[in-house]
Amino acid sequence: MNMKTKTFGYLGGTFSKNELAEARQNGNPLTLDMAIPGNCLNECIFCGYKDTQTGDKLSLEEIKRIIDDFSDLGGRSVKILGEGEPLLRQDILELLDYVHQSSLQPILFTCGDVLGDDNLAQKIHGISGLNVAKRLNDSQTTIMLKYEAKNQDDIVQRRGFSEKRNLALERLVQLGFNKHSPSRLGFGIVVLNLNYDEIPQNYEWAIQNNVYPLLCPLMPIGKASDPEYRKQIGITQEQIVELSARLYRIAQANGIQIDCPADFPGGLPCDISRAGFYIGDTGDIYVCESEDKVGNTRTIQLKDAWKEIKQLKDNKYGENRWSGFCYQKRKCGILPSNFDKLVSERLR
């Protein structure tokens, strides 16, 4: 596939300069990251899913109301992140259909377990994993597939995971999720010391096959909220700078030009930082997943929360807000405070 004819990014998760300029002028959000209540079969070494299993969880009707309110705000896309594996919910296909029918772009972050396990898919949805993927295609859902490594059973701490994930990828490619521009298929890759050496090869495969590689250095949440544990499973600032420069060189060699290095190594800047926000699985509303809380959807209208979020972003970040920095990762030292400049120097 000739990448020069494709837009580098993933549909609903990365936005054009014109879309960003319009959102900046009009003051509307573009994208919503949302955690919905759920289960998970894995025990990822960095994840804090099991720490979230308390509180008054959002109901399906409450989630739909949030989607309605976000659409009314002028939003463009909704990312379903979890908690856990969303495809383990029996009503997830209905929910993604609802997002699509609300004229929003649905994006699903998934481990791929259900898509690659017909027995599990049949148990939950009454259809095969391939047919679940077809339903996702019908709702025009963008899929971000967990892909830390070719064999990541040790990372998720479950034997047989990678085989099922690989079948999920095969089915998504078969159905043409990566035939769109920008792509409706991406890899979600958490950067760890266990996969550091393998990432460049997987990154190059992804961009050559029009699969968007979303690389995320560890966030200060879940198990990785402990700084000492984060050091144990993560990589150093020097390593993340070098990795990022290496990935951009690979992108350039494949015809992709990046205007400015992003805090997602090898990728594009964060549009949640620019024009989005996060809602947790009990309805709490945050500037970002690990930043300021501004209220709860049960006690504050979403339009009022967005006004407060915009003000917080402008007061804390100023013009840097529209550069798409990950402020929390820089603040706690996961990334150097001048990360983009350091990567640019390596590229020169």
What is the DSSP secondary structure assignment for residue 19, as one 8-state letter? H
Q: CA 291 to CA 295: how far, in whole Å?
A: 12
**pLDDT value at position 103?**
96
The residues pairing with 295 across neighbouring beta strands, listed in sequence order, are 285
The residues pairing with 108 across neighbouring beta strands, listed in sequence order, are 80, 143
Question: Which residues in the chain land under pLDDT 70?
Answer: 1-5, 49-53
Dihedral of the CA atoms 252, 256, 262, 267 (nearest 10)? -110
**pLDDT value at position 1?**
45
User: Could you read off the pLDDT of 244-281 as tens digits, one per residue?
Assistant: 999 999 999 999 988 889 999 999 999 999 999 999 99
Distant-in-sequence, close-in-space partners of 43: CB < 8 Å, separation ≥ 6? 50, 156, 157, 158
The CATH code of the domain at 3-230+267-333 is 3.20.20.70
Reference 79, options 43, 50, 105, 49; nearest CA is: 105
Reference 206, options 182, 187, 179; nearest CA is: 187
**pLDDT value at position 259?**
81
Domain boundaries, the chain: 3-230+267-333
Reference 198, options 237, 160, 154; nearest CA is: 154
With beta carbons less than 8 A apart as the criterion, state whether 24 and 322 touch: yes
- Alpha-carbon distance values, 184 to 2, 109, 135, 251, 307 (Å): 17, 12, 14, 19, 30
Reference 75, options 26, 29, 107, 142; nearest CA is: 29
The residues pairing with 188 across neighbouring beta strands, listed in sequence order, are 146, 214
